[in-house]
Amino acid sequence: MTATRRERLADDALLLHLGADTPPIHDATNARVHRIAVRIRATAPAWLRDLVPAYASLAVFFDPDAIAAPDVERWLDAHLADDDGTTIAAAPRCIDIPVVYGGDFGEDLDSAAAELGLSPAVLAERHARGLYTVAMIGFAPGFPYLSGLDPALALPRLATPRTRVPAGSVAIGGAQTGLYPRESPGGWRLIGRTPLRLFDPTRDAPSLLAPGDRVRFVAIDAREFARMEAGA
């Protein structure tokens, strides 16, 4: 099977390790995680409760009253044995995220740009130029870890995290970029903010973004932010 090793997380969960669990982050490994998740969901076994993709692993949650862990392992062996890394998954969604860069919306933009030897406008433009992939959802409900950041824009996290980061903040943390779905503590560099509601438990799909989605950032101004926020 594609997994390099398996781990039993609980009576109702297995973890498939598909690559190294430590940096650097490999896009090919993450793509394989999403591809395998698509293949498992496509078969829709009755015992499957949930799949949780991460950067290099996939958690498989099952109904222990319907199937035992060894049988899940055998099922996975049988259904994933032919995964050679070339199977193409379904076309991902591509979602535009409007964002105001800098000022009160991204208080670290100026200092981050200075640290990188760029102007704030160039940092914002290069960040918005990228095409990103939702590698995983974690940290908080609806928080997307996005791969695809230009390596030249990577920034270390703050030495002392903030106790309050506004909801919708767009940030850089190491070699990743991401969005804070709700007000929370955080140590990533804040470069902008979106008016979109990233997580809403009243929606059929509470998280706006899902693992495997593609994301583009679209720069807007404060007036457009206010208009969109009022209509959210």
**Domains annotated on the chain, with CATH:** 5-80 (3.30.1360.40), 94-231 (2.40.100.10)
* pLDDT by residue, tens only, the chain of 232 residues: 455 688 999 999 999 988 766 556 778 888 888 888 888 988 889 999 999 998 889 999 999 999 999 999 999 888 776 665 555 556 789 999 999 999 999 999 999 999 999 999 999 999 999 999 999 998 889 999 999 999 999 999 999 999 999 999 999 999 999 999 999 999 999 999 999 999 999 999 899 999 999 999 999 999 999 999 988 6
How many Å apart are CA 99 and CA 220, to the nearest integer? 6
Q: What span, in angstroms and rounded, lies between the C-alpha atoms of 99 and 170?
A: 8
User: How far is residue 20's CA from residue 18's CA, in Å, rounded to a whole number?
Assistant: 7
Compute the CA torsion angle 190, 195, 200, 204 (nearest 10 deg): -130
pLDDT at residue 84, as a whole number: 58
The Cα 113–Cα 191 span in angstroms is 9
User: 194-217 burial by CB neighbour count: b if 16+ within 10 A, else e?
Assistant: bbbbbbbeeeeeebbbbbbbbbeb
139 sits in the region (left: phi over 0; alpha: psi -120 to 50; else beta) called: left
pLDDT computed for residue 1 by the predictor: 47
Distance between CA atoms of residues 159 and 200, nearest Å: 31
Q: What is residue 4's predicted lDDT score, i.e. its pLDDT? A: 67
pTM for this prediction: 0.84
Sheet containing 13-17, strands listed edge to edge, beginning at the edge strand earlier in sequence: 5-10, 13-17, 57-62, 48-53
